[in-house]
Every structure is written in structure tokens, then in C-alpha cells.
Structure 1
Amino acid sequence: MRLIGRNGSSSLAIERIGLERSWGDVYHFLLTISWTGLLLLVIGLYLFANVFFAGLYLLGGDAILNARHGSFEDAFFFSVQTLATIGYGVMSPKTTYGHIIASIEGLVGWSGFALATGLMFAKFSKPTARVLFSDVAVINQSQGRPTLFFRTANRRRNQIFEAQVRLTLARDETLPNGEFMRRFYDMKLVRGQTSIFALTWTIMHVIDEESPLFGQTSESLAESQTELIVTLTGLDDTVSQNIHARHSFIASEILFEHRLTDIITRTPEGRRILDYSRFHDVEALVAQPETAPPR
């Protein structure tokens, strides 16, 4: 089970039934669909409107001046001119019926373009985070204590101020009375916030007696369908708006006795190099030595 998708969106692994469809959330739906979906929807509505009004003009008989009688092509392109308020002047309403339909189409046209413009601006200006998370989380010994590690990075060439990370563990449990429940546990981090998040950040959680990971194995995590849910918030210094990022690790993505590969090296001249091509790399540990936190 995955509650959060790999791209940070809500997972589709859970099927929802019994909810009534509501058309009152159309705005939210249009803001959350992809740009491709939105553009295809706008184009489809635009073509449908012109076909619909072209049919109305044809129903009125000879309602368009200088249009060929019964020509759907002329009626369609006259509808395009009216809907978009282009008005080339070659064709115009000829009858009262034609003027009425053109007036209605003009109202639909400017209101529709206003709504589409506002929607696209809202979607374009919506603050988004370009945050990268490591593909897996690892558990190994650090300073004599088992510790969970995973890595995150800011993919933009800017800074995120007052960044905060929260880590939650979700798993299936059977209560003493036999009741099944999906329970959530907040996990304490070694450092859950940073004043400036510009490059990379290794998140650490010490697995002590109070940790929900205490005494767990790969098999027990898989059996309880354990998932680690990560949320990151902060203030983008470019747009001065709060941004949010989400990620999750399922049981198969939590590796015991592994460590994250160091991605910061130094040149002979002393310059530091950050190698993002190794961001997701891990190394298996044969023994259990104390390891310094990866950078």
C-alpha cells in the first residue's frame, strides 16, 4: 500500500467507493490535472462550442450574410469569429435570429475566455517545489545506535528558507480486541528543520525504544505494510511563497545494513563537488561498523 505516489501526489493504490460525485469541486479538479489535460479540455470545449453554435446558425436558415446557404463550414468559421470577437467583416448576422444567436455566443465567448485565462494564470502561478528524495531509506549503525537515513535535495538553484521536515510511519495493526486499524506514528528526527535549504539534507531518525521501528525487520515491515511518509515545507526565496513536497518509502524501499553513498567530494584544489548522479546510490555493509552520517 502506498499513500503517497512517487511524484508526491496521492496514490491510486486505494479504491474509494461510496462517495457521491460533487460538481462543486470543478475548480480544484482543473487546478490539479496536468497541463496537457487542461489544454486538451480547453481545446475540446472550444471546438464543441463552435460546432454547437454553427448548428444553431444552420437551424435558422439563411441567418448569416454572405455565407453559402446550408454550408456548415461557413457557419463554423463565422462562429469562430463571433466567439473570439475577431469580426473580419465578410460575414455578419443577417436576420434577427442570427443576431440573437451571435449575441449569446459573444457572451459565452468573452466569459469563457476570461475563465480560461484566470484558470491558466492560477495554475501557472501556483507555487511548486522541485525537491528530490532518495529512492530508498537505509538503516545502519551510527554512533552505536541504529539510525534511519534518507536524503533530500533542492533541485532548483535557489534557497528554501525555514525548511521543515516531518516523518510519519503508517502500518497495519491488529488491536488486542481483534480490531484492524491503520495506525500512524510521528517520528522524532535528529534535525527536523534548517534555516536555509539550498543543496542536500540528510534526514536521520534514531531507532531507540520509543521509535516505531524498534525491533522491526524487513519481514515485519512488509507484513504490516509499513510506509514512511515524508512532508517538507518551506519558504521559496524566489516567489516568497510557502511550498510543499511529499514522498513516501514503502517496506521494500527501507534497506537494512546499507548506507547512503557520499556525494560530496573535494578536488585537489580544495573545491567541493556535489555529484547528483550518485544521489540515489547506496552501499551494502558487510559488518556493522559505526558510520559517519552521509553528506
Structure 2
Amino acid sequence: MRIKRKLDRSIIKLEQREGVLQIVGGNTWYSYFRDPYHLMLTIPWLGFAAIVAILNVLINAIFACLYLIDDKAIGGMNNIGFLESFFFSVQTLASIGYGVMHPDTLYANLLVTLESIASLMLFAVITGIAFTRFAKSSSRVMFSRVATIHNYNGIPTLMFRAANERRNHILEAHLSVYLMIDEVTEEGQMMRRLHELKLVRDHSPVFLLSWTVMHTIDQRSPLHGLTLETMERLHAQILVSLTGVDETIEGTLHARHFYAARNLMFDRRFVDVIHMGNDGHRYLDYTHFHETTAIQ
């Protein structure tokens, strides 16, 4: 049975979802049950609070049972049962100490010492994890739902859009774009290969609003000669990776996006999102951010 379970964990299922090859169950909080630290960082806040509450109740219940071993351990009350021992543990663990109940024997004082050490470690770990969850920089970068391929200055060019939804400054923004495709070697071995797509501009000192990303499809481009049918047959997809520094929190942020072959629009271009107002100022309208129009 153990061998079978180990084999099950060693097998990872890859599934085609909306044209994008993805790991089933990957990059989700419930896939980290054997990795408690990552679980606590990725689980939703409600789940995080529930785990902390359950752990707190469990520790107090264990110490309550330990206090009950000595019926004279807790002084200040005539009858000491499980509830009294439990709430005495709560007061000790949280360093509340109302002064009514108190340790009355050497055994109880040793338990209080042990519980105070456990309290320091528990709250230090919980505080550290909570701070890490707050301190994580979440990117608010939006990518266009589709990418277009059409002539630009007479050369076929791959284009897609990126926008900074937070509208603050992303400093030293860098974009990397890759073609992921199935290839078969001369020996007949199938491999999943990554080919970098060189961009017309892959760096922006300040990424504030919108960025139109372009890759020229010339003879040196990995996309040269590929048709839509070929890309679908070889499960081709385009991986976009953006990194930069969030000026507000001065932390590194990461954003990524995938374009499947079905997301590529040939002989279409994006609708212009920048227009001049009657007051002479420029305006950026995100309403048409994802829209394309046929090239006449």
C-alpha cells in the first residue's frame, strides 16, 4: 500500500485546459499539505484563521489535561474540572493572568513554565507567517486576452498588451516571452522545449499604464513558418513573464500569462485605447483594452 501511494505521488497529470498545458492540482494551496509553511502562506485568510484557532484550542486542551493530573495543581477555586483547567491554560498561554487561578504546586509551576515557552514560540511563528502574508507583493498586471499577428512596418509581428491596473509606478519592468512547444528529436524522443522570443522592447524604466509588446517574426524567430494548425498540433503556447519593482512597497513583483494557439488572432490589430479629448488632453480608455479589429 505504501509503495502504491508513493507511486501515486510520483505521477503528475498534465491536462490541456483552454489550449494551455497545465499541471492538475498544481500551484493551489491544498497541494501543500506535506509542506506546512507553504500551506500557511497560500491558504485563504479564512483558512489561516481557522488553523490558528484550531491549533490554539488543541494546545490549551492538551495542557488542560496535563493540569488535571494533579488535582491540587491549580489554586484559587474550590472545584477544578476540565473547563477550569482549559481556561487557566488560555490565560497562561495568552499571558493574561487575571490572578484568580494560579499554579499551586511545583508540578503546576513547571507546566506553566513549559506553556510560557510554547506560547512564545507559537505566537512568534504565527506573527512571522502573518507578516509574510501581508508583505507579499501581489501584482495587479492585466494582459490582453488575445495576441495578434499582423504586418507592422511590412514585417509579420506578434503583439499583445499589458497594463498596470494599480496605476502606481513599476520600476525597471522587464518582460521575457517564450514559445513552449513539443519537439521530436532525430532519435524520435519527444521533448517540451522553450524558445525565447526577442522583443522590440523588453525593458521599461517606468511601467505606469499600458505597454504594447512586440516580437518581429523574421527568419530568426521561432515562430517563423508556423501555422495555427501546426501550433495547435504541437500544443504550442506563449509564456509571458514580467518582473519589476513596486515603487509603493519597494518590493519585487512578478506576473505571468499564457497564450494558447487559440488565443492568437491573425490579420487583426488591437483597437486604439488612447484618444485625444476635446480639452486637448490624452485619455486612456481600458474599455477597449481586449478588443481587436480586422485589418483592411
TM range, smaller chain:
0.7 to 0.9
- In terms of mean alpha carbon deviation, does 262-271 or 82-91 score higher? 262-271
Is residue 67–residue 108 contact of structure 2 (8 Å, CA) maintained in 1?
A: yes
Match for residue 128 of structure 1 among 105, 125, 138 = 138
Structure 1, unpaired ranges of 5+: 290-295
Task: Give, in angstroms, the shift of residue 209 of structure 1.
Answer: 1.7
Are residues 190 and 93 of structure 1, via their aligned partners in 2, closer, same or farther at CA, if it must alter by over 3 Å? same
Tell me the distance in 1 between the aligned counterparts of 2:58 and 2:200: 57
Task: Give, in angstroms, the shift of residue 14 of structure 1.
Answer: 7.4
The residue aligned with 2:9 is none
The residue aligned with 2:276 is 266
Are residues 249 and 40 of structure 1, via their aligned partners in 2, closer, same or farther at CA, if it must alter by over 3 Å? farther
Give the number of equivalent residue pairs: 277
Match for residue 84 of structure 1 among 94, 109, 117 = 94
- 1:189 paired with 2:209, answer no
Task: Give, in angstroms, the shift of residue 191 of structure 1.
Answer: 0.9
Tell me the distance in 2 between the aligned counterparts of 1:4 and 1:58: 56
- 1:251 paired with 2:268, answer no
Which structure has more RCO (C-alpha within 8 Å, separation ≥ 6)?
A: 1
Tell me the distance in 2 between the aligned counterparts of 1:98 and 1:110: 18
Match for residue 174 of structure 1 among 184, 196, 204 = 184
What secondary structure, in the 3-state scheme, does the structure 2 residue paired with 1:82 have? helix
Q: Compute the RMSD of aligned alpha carbons.
A: 2.8
What secondary structure, in the 3-state scheme, does the structure 2 residue paired with 1:243 have? strand
Match for residue 13 of structure 1 among 17, 24, 42 = 24
Structure 2, unpaired ranges of 5+: 1-13
Is residue 141–residue 165 contact of structure 2 (8 Å, CA) maintained in 1?
A: yes
Task: Give, in angstroms, the shift of residue 15 of structure 1.
Answer: 7.0
Match for residue 74 of structure 2 among 56, 64, 75 = 64
Are residues 145 and 121 of structure 1, via their aligned partners in 2, closer, same or farther at CA, if it must alter by over 3 Å? same
Task: Give, in angstroms, the shift of residue 178 of structure 1.
Answer: 0.6
Give the partner amino acid of 1:112: L
Task: Give, in angstroms, the shift of residue 66 of structure 1.
Answer: 3.6
Give the partner amino acid of 2:292: V
Report % sequence identity.
Answer: 41
Tell me the distance in 2 between the aligned counterparts of 1:161 and 1:149: 22
| 1:90-131 per-position Cα deviation (integer Å, ceiling 9, x unaligned) | 211233322222221111012211121122223322333221
The residue aligned with 2:6 is none
What secondary structure, in the 3-state scheme, does the structure 2 residue paired with 1:117 have? helix
- In terms of mean alpha carbon deviation, does 48-57 or 163-172 score higher? 48-57
